Structure formats: C-alpha cells, structure tokens
Amino acid sequence: MPLPFVYSDQDFVTGVCRGRGNSLMPTKFDTTLHASWTDRMDRGLFRYNLGDLQTRILPGRHGFVAQLNVQRGIERRKPQEILSIQQEFNAKQFNFNKINPEEIMFEMETDTVEGNERGQQHPPIKMVVLINVSPLEFGHCLFVPDPLKCFPQVLNTYTVQVGIESVLLSSDPGFRVGFNSLGAFASVNHLHLHGYYLDSELKIESMPVKPLAPERGFYHMLDFPGGFMFYTESEQVKEAAKAICRVTDFLVESNIAHNLFFTRGCPPCESIPSEKDRCLRKGVRIAIWPRKSCFGAKEESAFNVALCELAGHLPFKNKRDYELATERDVIEITQRYLLPDEKLKTLERQLSHLVNL
C-alpha cells in the first residue's frame, strides 16, 4: 500500500493567478499525483495510452474547450443500470473494492486533530485516490472516501471538503474536481469524485454571478448553463462544505439529478471583472447544476452532458463531431439536459431560504 499523503491547511496555496508570468512551483500534492499517475500509465494499468489530446477552442463567446478522446468512448467501462437518484449501494455490482490494488495511487489524510463533544479524538478518515483507467485528461483520478464503508453516490460533507481542499493543495489553476450524481451520468454507484488537470481556461472561472446568500458564499450563475455557485477561500472550507451538502441533500430528497464542478476561480462579482481581478485564483468556485435525470437514456453520439461538459470542457467521442461542432451545436445538446427556467427559479427561492437557515 502506498504511503499516505498527509496534509494540513498550512499546505493550501492561496497566491494562484491565471496568466503569463504567474506560474508557481508544483506543490507536494501536484508532484505526488503527477508521479503516481505517470507511473501507472508507464506500467500499462490504463485501458489506453492517453497521449496529447487534440484540443481546440470553439469560436464564440463561451470559449468551449473541445478535445478529441475517441478511446474513452470505446474503452470505458459500461455504466451501471441506474434507476433512482437514491439507489442503494449494491455490492454485487462493480465497485471500487473490486479494483486492481495497483490502481491505488495514495491515501489522503489530514493531520488536523478533531474531537467530538466528549473530547475524544475521531480516528482519521481516509480518502483513497485511484487512477481512472479510462482517463479524460492528464492526472484523471478518483477520490473515494473509505471504500470499505460502501457509500452510495450521494455527497457527504467530508467528501465535499476534501474535494475543495484538493483544489487548494494544487498550485496549478488547471486542476479540477467534479461530481456526477446518479441520474446525471454517474456510471458507478460508489461514492467518488473525479479530479484531473486541464490547462485551458474555462469561462466558469470568472463568470458573473448574482448574489443569493453572499454571506454564505452562495450565488446564481448569470450565463449559460444556468446553475448555482458557492465560492470559498481557504479559511471557510468546512463551512462551505456543510452549506454545499445542505443543497445537494435537498436535491437528492427532491429527486433532482445534479453535477458539481470545483475549480480555482476569481472572487464573485455581478459583472465581468477587471483584467486584474479576473486573473485572481485565490479561492475555489463550486458550480452546482440541477438538471433533468437520465435513467437508461441513450447517450449522445458527440459528448455526454456531465460535470466537465457543463463547465465548458467537451471530450468528443468521434473526429467528425469534434471538427464540425459549433458553439450553437453544443448549446443545443446541453439544453436538453437542463431544467426549465421556471423550475430553476423555484429552486433558487428554495435553496436561498435553505442556505440562509
């Protein structure tokens, strides 16, 4: 078993910017992930050799990042049959306790000691970091909280907190983390987050937002695709994780599928920020898209609409769609999976009230 990766809030990187001349040295987290992931690739543990993916920015104001990843569409494991957002864990189906142990890169542990109300120390919770054997991009990994506990694919506070902390542990503004709920293209009903590096800037990093509960870091994104956003810096991670889970718990209880995307981003603002402010990446933006459920739905031929696609990163399955797709095509495909405006407005009222409680 690889040695654990132990960290504290002292390891968080706050001085991240996007743009030329602002690159920082890789952190211990980046170095560990890079080396472990590359080692597994060299050892042939992935279903295909990723290589340098063809990438192009689609013309238009959204700046969609298109990549050609034919092998993932062909080689990835067949998704499990999902019938409900609240589906129970099934040990007979594929889960992360059945993987090749060599796919484990490392375990994450925090050295921050917490106690319960009686003053006793909690045993450390571990986050196991695995390679994704069908990678989207360099470093594509899975964060699985204590796999033996067999959590279904429903977020909990600890998992959200480590997702945010992972972004803060990286000095690379291109490190992203995401989550697909059941009914939102999650393919395995065993709690996990995705993490990967993408060099290209995404519009979501600086998109204008409308304040809903700004004292709680909660906003409504003002551009396509419509959804909600939390923003947090390193000092408020635990509070943000709790607030995010109040929202996702409500969505699960309401049988509303959802995708989340964690990325470095500039502080929230109601208009396009100045060039100086737009480059700031001190904190983390966590986008939440409530969306239409798709159980047993036929997959799109060009790309599926899940966590990275909603964020503006489009892994195309075939060369023709990759070369010919336009911004309008992407919007038309994505729109099929989004909630109607009236439903989103109702959710805005409900979630604003919930977050403010």
Res. 298 pLDDT band, cuts 50 70 90: low
Of 252-256, 293-297, 318-322, which range is least confident?
293-297
Angle among Cα 154, 156, 160 to the nearest 5 degrees reads: 110
Instruction: For helices 237-253 and 157-169, give the axis angle rounded to 10 degrees.
Output: 130
Give me the residue spans of the domains in the chain.
48-111+122-356
Lowest mean pLDDT segment, chosen from 18-32, 82-96, 154-168: 18-32
List, in sequence order, the alpha helices (H) in 80-176: 157-169
pLDDT tens for each residue of 324-342: 999 999 999 999 999 999 9
Mention every residue, 6+ apart, whose C-beta is less than 8 A from residue 190. 89, 95, 96, 97, 144, 147, 150, 151, 152, 153
Is the CB of residue 174 less than 8 Å from the CB of residue 197? yes
Q: What is the CA radius of gyration of the chain?
A: 19
What pLDDT, on the 0 to 100 scale, is given for residue 297? 61
Do 106 and 210 form a contact (C-beta atoms < 8 A)? no
Dist. CA 27–CA 237, nearest whole Å: 19
Q: How confident is the model over 222-241, as pLDDT tens digits? A: 999 999 999 999 999 999 99
Those residues whose C-beta lies under 8 Å from the C-beta of residue 133, and which sit 6 or more positions away, are 45, 46, 47, 77, 103
| Mean pLDDT in residue range 58-81 | 88
CA atoms within 13 A on the CB side of 204: 34
Q: Count other Cβ atoms within 10 Å, centred on residue 139.
A: 25
Q: What is the pLDDT of residue 283?
A: 95
Q: What is the mean pLDDT of the chain?
A: 92
Q: Which residue has the higher pLDDT, 152 or 113?
A: 152
Identify the DSSP state of 213: E
Nearest to 294 by CA among 187, 184, 152, 186: 184
Q: In this structure, how many other beta carbons lie within 10 angstroms of the beta carbon of residue 175? A: 24
Q: Which tokens sit at 300? A: 């799109």
- In this prediction, residues 171-177 reach a mean pLDDT of 97
Q: Which CATH number fits domain 48-111+122-356: 3.30.428, 1.10.10, 1.20.120, 2.30.30?
A: 3.30.428
Query: Per-residue pLDDT averaged across 269-281, rounded?
Result: 77
Q: Predicted confidence band at 123 (pLDDT cuts at 50, 70, 90)?
A: low
Count of positions (residues) in the chain: 357
Of 17, 228, 240, 2, whose CA–CA distance to 102 is shortest?
2
Give the type of residue at 144. Answer: V
The question of whether 194 is a catalytic residue gets the answer no
Indicate which residue of 192, 194, 220, 258 is catalytic.
Answer: 192
Nearest to 79 by CA among 196, 191, 182, 195: 182
Rounded average pLDDT over 3-30: 88
In the 8-state DSSP scheme, what is residue 92?
A: T
Range with the poorest average pLDDT among 29-33, 118-122, 211-215: 118-122
> Is residue 95 predicted with pLDDT exceeding 70?
yes
